[in-house]
Structure 1
């Protein structure tokens, strides 16, 4: 059953996946909301642009799944909520999972669920929360035949980065990716490394588990297209981008440009005109 759902995520022609994440409202952070204030409109725009999947929360998934027809993007369901993204962190940090996550995903006809695996300097308790979430979620996913996507996230110190900023150090990212494999991930959504050309090492350490690369914070069109093209050359199986799509002036155009790079091996110079 997992295989049939995974087949809905990955493009039949290329074997790759572009998942557009618009689950940011789950995290109660105002800087995450531009571009998705009207989530119903955002979902409609993305459906028309036709990515492989759209990542949504339990409270917003109906905007995708209530749309008629069988050709719409697959649903990736976010299963955990956290308060670790602000420029000033609260005194008590947490990462909590929704109740009966795999069963709720089945009811929503999701193709996959996603859960975080945080590494935050000075906050080992949040890593503990994540590990507990995954340990509970894995057997449920196996029971219901629901693919499990684990999202390792390596944070820079909050006082240094001024909020939610990832650390692109491969020596930190690679072990987290391997831990996600060991915990039973079917798919891994991982940070990009500072040096794109060494990303094949992350792919290698994941073995047979497909790697989808996160987009991170906003970047220029040229930067995000070039980075994506170079990452695909490193052997990744796709991308999961959010703000670089939904906060763009032309989300549909950016989606089509990235789809061409991911699935058709298009070069950035050949797709920049789509934006």
Structure 2
């Protein structure tokens, strides 16, 4: 897999949000993002007990950006330095009324909101539309994470439903999308091509081995994804810095899984 050239974000984005997007995505338009927002729901999680040390490891590995809640972001700002920051706004209450201004105040480069297309109780799609309009007024890019129905209802996580969720999110105003990798490379290529904004593949649960995590990243990029957003598959790795290095080799360098795996001095 050979990657060439640079990437220009869509011209509909004014200069300021495009500049912020370039804090998340490298000049090639690709990104390796670490999801560090688990504490918003679960508190202390493996690999994130010492927040500052966790971020230092990721920066050492060459991470492009992190996804985090406001408290985590404030606590680790010194370690994060110039890496991109996506502020997670998932909450029990709608966040459009406070989230964008908060992100601007703390120097975030983008916002994130999870939505659940097909959920009969709360899709969150109305909140996404409202947040997209408010973010647009502030020049703040917005990433949506559409999960069909719910995390628990895995039967709903079909290729068709993931594709529809990504498209619905883009239609609602998201500037880029974080979506589940589903199906074959060819099937996921259809998910990517039907989404009119950049798409990043999420890592999901911890994979059986580090090699499985690298394979997902390789296949997602081969299908046209602009990179990955990995949480547990990075922070719970034996060496998170080396896992980031391996993912960077795949996402930015077009490396094979075998070549990238050489960065890991752990059992595959």
Same fold flag (TM > 0.5): yes
The alpha-carbon distance between structure 1 residues 215 and 6, as it changes in their structure 2 partners (threshold 3 A), is same
1:104-129 Cα shifts (integer Å, max 9, x gaps)? 11111111100011147xx52221xx
CA-CA distance at 1:132 after TM superposition:
2.8
Residue 62 of structure 1 is matched in structure 2 by 74
Assess if the C-alpha contact under 8 Å between 1:43 and 1:63 holds in 2.
no
Aligned equivalents of 2:256, 2:43: Cα separation in 1: 34
* Alignment partner, residue 266 of structure 1: 255
What are the ranges of 5 or more consecutive residues in structure 1 without an aligned counterpart? 82-93
Separation in structure 2 between the aligned mates of residue 168 and residue 124 of structure 1, nearest angstrom: 15
Question: Alignment partner of 1:264: what SS?
Answer: coil
Matched, 1:25 2:35: no
Query: Structure 2: 5+ residue runs without aligned partners?
Result: 1-15
Q: TM-score, normalised by structure 2?
A: 0.86
Cα separation, 2, equivalents of 1:272 and 1:214:
19
On the 8 A contact 2:52/2:79 being kept in 1, the answer is no
Question: Is 1:212 aligned to residue 200 of structure 2?
Answer: yes
Per the alignment, in what secondary structure is the counterpart of residue 97 of structure 1? coil
User: CA 1:95/1:235 → structure 2, altered by over 3 Å: closer, same or farther?
Assistant: farther
Q: Tell me if structure 1 keeps the 8 A contact 2:96–2:130.
A: no
Q: What is the alpha-carbon distance in structure 2 between the residues aligned to residue 196 and residue 240 of structure 1? A: 18
Kindly indicate whether the alpha-carbon contact (under 8 Å) linking 1:254 and 1:274 is maintained by their aligned counterparts in 2.
yes
Among 102, 120, 125, the alignment partner of 1:124 is: 120
Contact 1:117 1:151 in 2 (8 A): yes
Offset at residue 197 of structure 1 (A): 2.8
Deviates more, 1:133-142 or 1:59-68: 59-68
**Matched residue, 2:11:** none
Over the aligned positions, Cα root-mean-square deviation in angstroms equals 2.1
Q: Deviations over 1:243-272 (max 9, x none)?
A: 000011110000000011000001111121
Say whether the 8 Å CA contact 2:55–2:80 is kept in structure 1. no
How much does 1:68 deviate? Answer: 8.0
Query: TM-score scaled to structure 1, two decimals?
Result: 0.84
For 1:167 and 1:266, locate their aligned partners in 2 and report how far apart those are by CA, in whole Å.
32
Q: Distance in 1 between matches of 2:59 and 2:97?
A: 28
Q: Distance in 2 between matches of 1:119 and 1:68?
A: 33
How many angstroms apart in 1 are the aligned matches of 2:155 and 2:63?
Answer: 25
Candidates 8, 11, 20, aligned match of 1:5: 20
**Equivalent residues of 2:129, 2:173 under 8 A apart:** no
- Partner of 2:228, secondary structure, is strand
Q: Cα distance 1:68–1:185, how it changes in 2: closer, same or farther (>3 A)?
A: closer
Q: 1:204 to 1:49 in 2, by over 3 A?
A: same
**Contact 2:117-2:125 at 8 Å conserved across structures:** no
Secondary structure at the aligned position of 1:59 is classed as helix
